[in-house]
Amino acid sequence: MLSQQEQLRYSRQIMLDKIGVDGQSKIKQASILVVGIGGLGNPVVSYLSAAGIGKMFLADGDKIETSNLQRQVMFEEEDVGANKADCMADKINQQNSDVDIEIIDEMLGEELCDYYLPLVDIVIDCTDNINTRYLLNKYCLSHNTPLVIGAATGFDGQQMIIDPREENTACYQCLFPETERAPQNNCHTIGILGPILSIIGGVQALEAIKLITGIPVKTNQLNLFDGLSNQWSKFKVSKQESCPACSR
């Protein structure tokens, strides 16, 4: 049930036919793990908090650096040196005190994945670490948990949804086999323009809300954004019969 205050706060979402009171109640009851509280994690966590997600687990072992401030817009100069997940929790508590936040102030490994994934409805990958991406892919498949992937470098971004609950859904290794290694370019090597991260992070938050409320989403599809031309390209991704991760 939504309180009168909640109905007022989320009224602009509730009036949407595809959300309504039932959808907002689902959002309130949802639990999400956000991995990486950097350039993508900042807008993702902010939008999900504002939307009224019931519980969020924030995972990041990094500390805020001065060079982060150009794109990680929830952080301020006085936050430099603080743990990203811990600092973001403080920001969210000020934005929406109804959201239950749990901090994971270290990098996720296999043991932590096994512990936290059964506790959440969705995992959102906001990392720029290829090893973590393969790890999340593996454990989301194992725990049958939807995974919303985002990445951005330079003027470009990409987004993809993996939903192991659906039959014949391709996974990250179908697209980038671990034996061949996916491209490892990131903002540390080729730079990034901040608004690109807001666009991709906004899409990740949008897709998470759609998954929670039962609005259809596109799986088996890689979405690429070109910030120079402001154009999206969509590519079909097929489940690979030989994929060591999802073809079992």
Domains parsed from the chain with CATH numbers:
4-236 (3.40.50.720)
Partners of residue 31 on adjacent β-strands: 55
Q: Is residue 55 helix, strand or coil?
A: strand
Dihedral pair phi/psi, residue 101, rounded to 5°: -115, 135
The pLDDT value recorded for residue 248 is: 66
Confidence of residue 184 (pLDDT cuts 50, 70, 90): low
The pLDDT value recorded for residue 247 is: 82
Cα 57 → chain centroid? 11
Catalytic residue numbers read 187
pLDDT digits (tens, 9 = 90+) for 163-180: 999 988 999 999 999 877
Rounded Cα gap, residues 110 and 119, in angstroms: 15
The pLDDT value recorded for residue 1 is: 86
Instruction: Compute the Cα dihedral for 64, 49, 34, 73 and give only its sign.
Output: negative
The pLDDT value recorded for residue 181 is: 61
pLDDT digits (tens, 9 = 90+) for 44-89: 999 999 999 999 999 999 999 999 999 999 999 999 999 999 999 9
HEC-encoded secondary structure of 67-121: HHCCCCCCCCHHHCCCEHHHHHHHHHHHHCCCCEEEEECCCCCHHHHHHHHHHCC
- Structure tokens given for 217: 């989403």
The pLDDT value recorded for residue 96 is: 97
- For β-strands 100-104 and 55-59, DSSP reports them as parallel
pLDDT digits (tens, 9 = 90+) for 188-225: 678 899 999 999 999 999 999 999 999 999 999 999 99
pLDDT digits (tens, 9 = 90+) for 132-146: 999 999 999 999 999
Rounded Cα gap, residues 117 and 140, in angstroms: 7
Cα 24 → chain centroid? 19
Q: Is residue 131 helix, strand or coil?
A: helix
